C-alpha cells in the first residue's frame, strides 16, 4: 500500500514552499483480509538478515547505548550503535563475544578511518556499517563508501542522511546498500531552525521512494506516535528509525 497524490515537487529549486509531514496526513482504511492481526508478519530483511520489526532506535547518543544494542540484537531487532565518545573496536569485540551481530556508525573524518583500520587489523568485519553525517550527498562520503566497500566488502553499508531523489541516486551509484532519508525532521533536531534546510518527511519519502526502488530506504526522523510508522511505510520507507518514541 502506498500513498497516492498528484503533487509534484521541484527539488531543483532552492526553496520548497510546501510539503507533508506525518501530522499532515491520515491513512485511508481498506477492507480487512486477515482473520486476526496476530498472524500479520511485519518482519523485514536488511541484507541477508531478517528482523522481527521494520523499526529501530535512532543511532543517537541520547537514544542508544551498548545495553540497548545488546537487547535489540538478542531480540532480533535491528540497531545502529552511535559513534560519539565510544570505543568502537571494543564495542565490536563485546558484541562478538556474546555471539551477537555488529552494527556500527562511522563518520568521514581521519579518526573514523583510524577506527576502520583498527577493525581491519583485528580482522573484525561488522555485519552493518552506517555512514552517519548531516548531509551525505558529499564527495567525502563517496570516498568513505569506496574505502568501506574495498576493505569490508561483506558489510551491509547504509549511507545517510539525504533528502532528495538526486542525492539518493548518487549514494546508490556510489555503492550504498541502503539509504537513510530525512534531514531536519527529528524532534530535537535544530537544523531547520539554524540553517533553513528541511523537506517534510512524507513528501521526502514519496519523492525518493519513487526514484529508488531496488535498495532499502530507511526513514529517519519525525516519528512522534506509533501511527507515524505506518505512514512512513505507506509513503515508501522499507525501514523506520525513531528517536523520541523510544
Residues forming the active site:
189
Decide: helix, strand or coil at residue 19.
Answer: coil
DSSP letter for 170, please: H
Which grid cell sits at 241?
528509525
* CA pair distance 38, 163, nearest whole angstrom: 35
Which helix (H) or strand (E) is 181 found in, with range? strand 178-181
Contact 181/162 with Cβ under 8 angstroms? yes
Question: Distance between CA atoms of 236 and 4, rounded to whole angstroms?
Answer: 11
From the CB of residue 87, how many other CB atoms can be counted at a distance below 10 Å?
11
Radius of gyration (Cα) for the chain, nearest Å? 18
- The upper half-sphere exposure of residue 119, i.e. CA atoms within 13 Å in the direction of its Cβ, equals 28
Amino acid at each position: 500500500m502506498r500513498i497516492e497524490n498528484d503533487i509534484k515537487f521541484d527539488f531543483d529549486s532552492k526553496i520548497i514552499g510546501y510539503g507533508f509531514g506525518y501530522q499532515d496526513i491520515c491513512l485511508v482504511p481498506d477492507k480487512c483480509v486477515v482473520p486476526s492481526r496476530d498472524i500479520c508478519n511485519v518482519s523485514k530483511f536488511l541484507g541477508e538478515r531478517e528482523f522481527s520489526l521494520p523499526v529501530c532506535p535512532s543511532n543517537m547518543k541520547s537514544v542508544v547505548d551498548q545495553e540497548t544494542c545488546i537487547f535489540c540484537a538478542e531480540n532480533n531487532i535491528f540497531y545502529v550503535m552511535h559513534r560519539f565518545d565510544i570505543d568502537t573496536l571494543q564495542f565490536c569485540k563485546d558484541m562478538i563475544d556474546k555471539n551477537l551481530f555488529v552494527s556500527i556508525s562511522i563518520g568521514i573524518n581521519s579518526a573514523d578511518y583510524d577506527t576502520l583500520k583498527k577493525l581491519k587489523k583485528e580482522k573484525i568485519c561488522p555485519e552493518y556499517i552506517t555512514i552517519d553525517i548531516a548531509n551525505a550527498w558529499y564527495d567525502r562520503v563517496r570516498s568513505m563508501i569506496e574505502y568501506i566497500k574495498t576493505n569490508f566488502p561483506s558489510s551491509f553499508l547504509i549511507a545517510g542522511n539525504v533528502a532528495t531523489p538526486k542525492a539518493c541516486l548518487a549514494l546508490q551509484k556510489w555503492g550504498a546498500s541502503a539509504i537513510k532519508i530525512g534531514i531536519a525532521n527529528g524532534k530535537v533536531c535544530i537544523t531547520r531552525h539554524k540553517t533553513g534546510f528541511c523537506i517534510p518527511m512524507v513528501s521526502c519519502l514519496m519523492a525518493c521512494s519513487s526514484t529508488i526502488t531496488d535498495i532499502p530506504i530507511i526513514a529517519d526522523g519525525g516519528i512522534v506516535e506509533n501511527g507515524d510508522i505506518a505512514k512512513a511505510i505507506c509513503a515508501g520507507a522499507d525501514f523506520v528509525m525513531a528517536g523520541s518514541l523510544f
